[in-house]
Amino acid sequence: MTGQPPSAPPPSWGPTRSFGRIRSRTLKPRQAALFDTLLPKIAVPDPEAGPIDPASLMPGAREVWLEIGFGGGEHLAAQAARHPEALMIGCEPFLNGVGSALRHIEERGLANVRLHAGDARAVMGAMPDACLDRVMILFPDPWPKARHNKRRLIQDDTALEIARLLKPGGRLRFVTDWKDYAAWALERLARTEGLVWLAEAAEDWRTPPADHVTTRYEEKRLGDTAPIFLEFERA
């Protein structure tokens, strides 16, 4: 289950969106206020303005983590609280989720989180090679209908970009509660040059890693299976 898979095709970011709605309801007043007061202080620089150097976002950070699609921010905030020495970059296009994350950040007094209220792939494309220690993708939109599979976040080009960004020994964690998406993601990640699947037995993908944070979304069990945890390491 390990070894060097064949190369994936070169990255080609297209206009396809891998996420659904941008906002479902009016932001609560407190969250709306945080967009004006807190977000400007912790926002990731605009990727369209030029390269993004994670080291400049939190000088002295021992590690840099990226969470792609952080939902309501519970996991991001919990990991940031556990690892104050690490810079946590979170990307989420769903504005209500960003508002929720801002609330968690303010309540916990977290100084090591930076947010991008938009598509993570724009930020990824602006970052240098081998700059990340961890990438977390937890319960992304499964796009379960076959005709929508092309909208899934995990594609060959995305997997190759993740491999480019991870440092040697860096980890990728992908979690889903949809069997078909787990198989889809495993197929593409396993054939990406430089990514090594760490599972040796079924329990390795059935059992939550020791540092996993269970969120309210996960507890709803909206998929068709118990969560499946795919852990990869950058060779």
Could you give the residue numbers annotated as active site? 141
Pairing status of strand 228-234 against strand 166-176: antiparallel
Question: Which residues contact residue 133 at a Cβ distance below 8 angstroms, ignoring those fewer than 6 apart?
Answer: 63, 64, 65, 86, 166, 167, 170, 171
- Residue 81 tokens, joined: 């609280």
Q: At what angle do helices 29-37 and 95-108 cross, to 10 degrees?
A: 80
Q: From the centroid of its chain, how far is CA 196?
A: 18
DSSP H/E element including 162? helix 156-165
Annotation: binding site for substrate: 145, 177, 215-218
Annotation: binding site for S-adenosyl-L-methionine: 67, 92, 119, 141
Q: Is 54 exposed, middle or buried (0-12, 13-18, 19+ CB in 10 A)?
A: buried
**Pairwise CA distance, residues 235 & 171, whole Å:** 10
How many other CB atoms are found less than 10 A from the CB of residue 216?
9
Q: Decide if 74 contacts 215 (C-beta within 8 A).
A: yes
Return the DSSP state at 226: S
Annotation: binding site: 67, 92, 119, 141, 145, 177, 215-218
